[in-house]
Structure 1
Amino acid sequence: MRPETVLITGCSSGIGRATAEAFLDDGWTVYATARDPDDIADLEAHENCVTDELDVTDDSDVRNVVNRMLRNEDRIDCLVNNAGYAQFGPTEEVPVEAVEDQFEVNVYGPHRLTRAVLPHMREAGEGTIVNLSSVAGRVSMPGGGAYSGSKFALEAMTDSLRWEVDGHGIDAVLIEPGPVRTKFNDRATEESDAAERTDAYEWFWSAFEDTQVLGGDGPGAVEPEEVATAIVDAANLTDPPARMPVGTVAKLLVKSRFLPDSVVDLAMRFARKRMD
């Protein structure tokens, strides 16, 4: 039998790169994609890996990559929507255009890819769509409205999708990492420059600059390979769970959403005082 095939977005580094390597180690045929194909050219050293250029905000890129994969392999067994980034900043200071860009990549990108592969998965009567969310898709923090908003939206879309495709033999799974040791923080810091800073939220920016955003270098952070293992497990399981939190921090924070809002607000006020 021919190996199963997976299409992965955002493979230039971090979770995407680790996921491509994990699927290759598991014997899959991998279509690894990135906006800059030079970033993933070395992956072609693997016999079962094909690299391609893909900007998830470009309809023609999505269409071309999916068509090439089907032409070469005649199947798409799994789609991993990994490409994404974070826009941080207080709501008042984040321009509308920056929020639009955030949703363009984190929400509309996965929607484009999902629509492109679903007809073929339905015809095959099987398949798995894995969407990379975050603990920020379950719990929002100050300055994280744009990013969490995009991940909350992705979670809602995936929940709907899971029920919609249940009768077609297709699974839809959310992966929810906590802090991960990747270059995520570097991109988040760059994107924060888009904020139109006032002097009203200095407490937030002070905390933002003193910490590693989601703690990628702090205690509780996991390696990208741990997230990649969860993704491969989701693709291989006959009946995968709807959500797979990764890391102790993620599991604890997800549980915090069941606390009364008054308790969470009190904890946030206490944390704010520590920042001032």
Structure 2
Amino acid sequence: MKTVLITGTSSGIGRAAAARLARRPDLTVYATARKTAAIEDLAATGAQMLPLDVTDEASMTAAVAEIERRHGQVDVLVNNAGYGEYGPIEEADIDRVRRQFETNVFGLARLTQLVLPGMRRAGRGRIVNISSMGGRLVFPGGGYYHASKYAVEAISDALRQEVRPFGIEVSIVEPGLIRTGFGAVAGESLGANPSGPYRGLVAAVDRAMTKSYANPALAATPDAVAKVIERAVTARRPHTRYIVTGAARALVHTRRLLGGRAFDAINRVQFR
């Protein structure tokens, strides 16, 4: 049985992935959250519970050490923990931006460092990093969030090449709009000065986000991402990238084909 460590399972994509993977007889899944009380109900799916805060060194070290004590190594790491801090570049609270990077980037990187020695000793392993279509394109008002996901993409691409000789695979999952609490949290963080120069842009971004997340043709459920994570975890030869939702694939390819200025023009129409 392979051991799977998933971060950020208290809600949304992480919770759906933990529940789906824990039902597989070939996997022992460790669902984690800062407070295990938030994920106790996942025990009914067969998942094991561990406290884990990806912004705390002692917490990360203890979680990995406990799995290695029980099983020898972490076979699969799913770096899912993350959230969106939105707002204009000029007006965003830089301390909040730092906290976002601690979770989205530095926590992911440090936990990866902690599991890799065990994976190398075993001669096998798999790391699945949850990025976003926002790691391939940028919308106004989300620059700092997008920057964190671009960082995840770069780390993953370098890591994949570095660890392949040790039998370790690295995949990136890039969801589009997913109906979780993400949209609400991102909307709350917009918070521009109500009398400032970006108030019109912020209002337009807020309207567009609300409308898009409410549209079932654009936004999928967390389980749609969980199914893709399952493929990335269990495939004999996993893809380097998995884009989730048709709308996300269309946007990513549109940005790639049209280039920066044309995509900017589309955004000006959408967020006017």
Distance between the aligned counterparts of 2:193 and 2:85, measured in 1? 13
| Map of 1:201 onto structure 2 | 198
Distance between the aligned counterparts of 1:100 and 1:187, measured in 2? 16
Q: What is the TM-score of this pair, normalised by structure 1?
A: 0.93
Q: Which amino acid aligns with 1:90?
A: P
- The alignment status of 1:142 with 2:165, answered yes or no, reads no
CA separation of 1:103 and 1:115: change in aligned 2, threshold 3 A: same
Distance between the aligned counterparts of 1:98 and 1:57, measured in 2? 13
Contact 2:132–2:176, Cα closer than 8 Å, also in 1 = yes
Mark the runs of 5 or more structure 2 residues left unpaired by the alignment.
Answer: none
Contact 1:128–1:235, Cα closer than 8 Å, also in 2 = yes
Contact 1:179–1:214, Cα closer than 8 Å, also in 2 = no
CA separation of 1:267 and 1:209: change in aligned 2, threshold 3 A: closer
1:169 deviation in Å? 0.5
| Map of 1:158 onto structure 2 | 156
CA separation of 1:266 and 1:185: change in aligned 2, threshold 3 A: closer
- The alignment status of 1:31 with 2:57, answered yes or no, reads no
- The alignment status of 1:210 with 2:207, answered yes or no, reads yes
| Map of 1:241 onto structure 2 | 239
Identity score, percent: 42
Count of aligned pairs: 269
| Map of 2:77 onto structure 1 | 79
1:112 deviation in Å? 1.0
CA separation of 1:214 and 1:229: change in aligned 2, threshold 3 A: farther
Distance between the aligned counterparts of 2:193 and 2:94, measured in 1? 11
1:244 deviation in Å? 0.3
Distance between the aligned counterparts of 1:60 and 1:192, measured in 2? 32
| Map of 1:40 onto structure 2 | 39
Distance between the aligned counterparts of 2:209 and 2:164, measured in 1? 39
| Map of 2:112 onto structure 1 | 114
What is the CA RMSD across the aligned residues, in angstroms? 1.6
| Map of 2:267 onto structure 1 | 268
CA separation of 1:240 and 1:213: change in aligned 2, threshold 3 A: farther
Contact 1:178–1:214, Cα closer than 8 Å, also in 2 = no
Provide, for residues 66-93 of structure 1, a one-character-per-residue CA deviation record: whole Å limited to 9, x for no partner.
0011111223110000000001111011
Contact 2:190–2:202, Cα closer than 8 Å, also in 1 = no
More displaced 10-residue stretch of structure 1: 201-210 or 146-155: 201-210
Mark the runs of 5 or more structure 1 residues left unpaired by the alignment.
Answer: none
1:138 deviation in Å? 0.3
Q: Which amino acid aligns with 2:34?
A: R
Provide, for residues 109-161 of structure 1, a one-character-per-residue CA deviation record: whole Å limited to 9, x for no partner.
10011000000001111111000000000000100100000000000000000
Segments of 4+ moved more than 6 angstroms: none
1:197 deviation in Å? 5.5
Contact 1:93–1:198, Cα closer than 8 Å, also in 2 = no
Distance between the aligned counterparts of 2:270 and 2:206, measured in 1? 16
Distance between the aligned counterparts of 1:162 and 1:100, measured in 2? 26
Distance between the aligned counterparts of 1:214 and 1:69, measured in 2? 42
Distance between the aligned counterparts of 2:66 and 2:189, measured in 1? 33
1:249 deviation in Å? 1.2
Contact 2:9–2:15, Cα closer than 8 Å, also in 1 = yes
Distance between the aligned counterparts of 1:156 and 1:146, measured in 2? 15
1:24 deviation in Å? 1.2
Distance between the aligned counterparts of 2:205 and 2:265, measured in 1? 20
Contact 1:70–1:76, Cα closer than 8 Å, also in 2 = yes
- The alignment status of 1:183 with 2:193, answered yes or no, reads no
Distance between the aligned counterparts of 2:205 and 2:263, measured in 1? 20
CA separation of 1:165 and 1:196: change in aligned 2, threshold 3 A: farther
Contact 1:33–1:53, Cα closer than 8 Å, also in 2 = yes
Distance between the aligned counterparts of 1:14 and 1:229, measured in 2? 13
More displaced 10-residue stretch of structure 1: 152-161 or 28-37: 28-37
